[in-house]
Amino acid sequence: MAKELGNSMRAVLGFGVIAGCILPACLCSCNPTAAETGPSQFDETNPLGANAACYVCHITFVQEELSKTHLRAKVPCIRCHGLSAGHANDEDIGATPPDVSFKRDQVNAMCIECHKSHDIAAEELAVHKRAPICTDCHDSHRIKKPQVAMQKE
């Protein structure tokens, strides 16, 4: 009987150890943190909104019409460019690209996800049989060399 009790206790203890290891792993993988998903809601109290992390390096974007318009509409940078945590945390400025960036032939497809129509068909604005893309007229990011505000020691 003592042997059976010992085996039962080992089985319970073994199950407890396994459950104690598996359960936290499941909880962690099933519930991503805010750092992994980005802001869960738009913070009305922060004038820079969810873009604050981007503006650390991209200082010029604060006054850029594209950024201001989208921020007023509660559309942060991560909506188009993904969380880009590696890009934001890269101390070697410019070495890690954003999670999502767009080549010229991809711009319209991204814009049309939210902006379903336009007053003038692109074909009507074509120059040299080449239709413009949204950012030809509607401002694109004016990417300059990132400027990081640093204090000199």
Q: Are residues 13 and 85 in the same domain?
A: no
Contact 101, 127 (CB under 8 A): no
The structural domain count of the chain equals 2
Q: Is residue 73 helix, strand or coil?
A: coil
87-126: per-residue pLDDT in tens?
888 888 778 888 998 888 888 888 888 888 777 666 566 5
What's this model's pTM, rounded to 2 decimal places? 0.54
Contacts of 43 (CB under 8 A, 6+ apart): 49, 50
Q: Are residues 67 and 111 in the same domain?
A: yes
Q: Are residues 71 and 125 in the same domain?
A: yes
Structural domain including 19 reads 1-31
